[in-house]
């Protein structure tokens, strides 16, 4: 059975959007690149855009904060984090299921920083009676954090007014839980106020969600623990917010990692596919595309075993496992 991972929000720290100057710049580049190509129909133009134009020109990596969906095709909704991307996910559910179908949503929270919970007040299914939302996490103040952001004067609709049934489930890191057909294990990560990565296993396939974590490869215990957590993963979704230079100097102890550490850790763990995630909000599409290409090259340089596939997450990206 196919498993799907859909990225509804991939940006770190704060949502961003394309501004007018960026759209204008993309259009100008596309027009110049298209000259002389004979693109006189919409179909020809779309095909050319999809196959010939640079990704950073034809697309955007997007700007919603963290929200990732795991889909086993069984109608169960499983999410990681409630960043601003969960709003788009909620709209997708309404389009797909219609307004009357009642659903159960299982949400695993990496941590409670605002960019990872800010989408919940805008998650449409939370306002529909009959829906059930179970929010899992290792932080003891999980429920308080979700409630507090809807208190006055921050938001006009109090948490108590949400019509869906909402339940909070506290998990113990290192212990395996069976949720919605997945075996799920959390691991403590190095981040201000703590964060937790999740290892999901189903039908012999392994997905690791590890965001907001400063991985220190100079600390042997940390390397061993992270490599075991990532071991043989089919997909590793990894916080690659900073350059290595920033991560070990001016931004040391800021709780995020780099693309270089991502590659080395995935190679050590014999993971198969790395997805760069939690993009730095200061980076535009060209910068993220450049980091992606450089990461592909670093994987090639540092490879001593099997090939590690590398992708850069974008809002709307789907990966089939």
Q: Does residue 135 sit in helix, strand or coil? A: strand
Element (H, E) at 262: helix 259-268
Nearer to other proteins by Cβ, of 2 and 245: the residue is 245
- For residue 311, give the nearest of 295, 298, 297, 300 by alpha carbon: 295
> Which runs of consecutive H residues, i.e. helices, occur in 60-171?
85-97, 142-148
Separation of alpha carbons 212 and 197, rounded Å: 9
Burial of 100 (0-12, 13-18, 19+ CB in 10 A): exposed
Nearer to other proteins by Cβ, of 34 and 217: the residue is 217
**Termini Cα distance of the chain:** 9
- Residues forming contacts to other proteins in the complex (CB under 8 A) are 217-218, 223, 243-246, 248-249, 258-261, 264, 294-295, 297-298, 301-302
Q: Minimum Å distance from CB 128 to other proteins?
A: 47
Other CB atoms within 10 A of residue 165 CB: 14
Partners of 169 in the beta sheet?
136
Nearer to other proteins by Cβ, of 52 and 300: the residue is 300
Q: Minimum Å distance from CB 236 to other proteins?
A: 16
Nearer to other proteins by Cβ, of 37 and 297: the residue is 297
Q: Minimum Å distance from CB 69 to other proteins?
A: 31
Q: Minimum Å distance from CB 317 to other proteins?
A: 23
Q: Minimum Å distance from CB 166 to other proteins?
A: 41
Nearer to other proteins by Cβ, of 253 and 318: the residue is 253
């Amino acid at each position: 059975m196919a498993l799907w991972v859909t990225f509804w929000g991939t940006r770190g720290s704060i949502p961003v959007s394309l501004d007018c100057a960026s759209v204008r710049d993309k259009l100008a580049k596309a027009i110049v690149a298209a000259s002389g190509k004979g693109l006189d129909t919409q179909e020809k133009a779309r095909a050319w855009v999809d196959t010939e134009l640079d990704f950073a020109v034809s697309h955007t990596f997007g700007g919603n904060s963290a929200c990732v969906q795991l889909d086993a095709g069984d109608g169960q909704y499983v999410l990681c984090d409630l960043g601003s991307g969960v709003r788009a996910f909620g709209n997708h559910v309404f389009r797909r299921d219609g307004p009357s179908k009642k659903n159960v949503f299982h949400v695993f929270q990496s941590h409670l920083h605002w960019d990872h919970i800010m989408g919940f007040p805008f998650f449409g299914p939370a306002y529909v009676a009959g829906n059930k939302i179970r929010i899992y996490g290792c932080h003891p103040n999980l429920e308080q954090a979700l409630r507090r952001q809807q208190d006055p004067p921050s938001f006009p609709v109090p948490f108590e007014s949400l019509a869906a049934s909402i339940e909070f489930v506290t998990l113990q890191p290192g212990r395996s839980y069976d949720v919605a057909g997945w075996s799920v294990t959390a691991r403590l990560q190095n981040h201000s106020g703590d964060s937790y990565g999740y290892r999901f296993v189903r039908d012999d396939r392994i997905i690791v969600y590890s965001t907001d974590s400063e991985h220190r490869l100079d600390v042997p215990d940390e390397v061993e623990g992270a490599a075991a957590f990532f071991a043989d993963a089919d997909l590793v979704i990894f916080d690659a917010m900073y350059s290595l230079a920033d991560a070990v100097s001016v931004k040391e102890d800021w709780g995020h990692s780099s693309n270089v550490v991502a590659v080395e850790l995935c190679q050590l763990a014999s993971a198969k596919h790395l997805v760069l995630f939690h993009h730095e909000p200061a980076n535009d599409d060209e910068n993220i595309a450049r980091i992606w290409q450089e990461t592909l090259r670093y994987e090639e340089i540092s490879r001593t075993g099997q090939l590690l596939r590398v992708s850069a997450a974008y809002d709307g990206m789907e990966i089939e496992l």
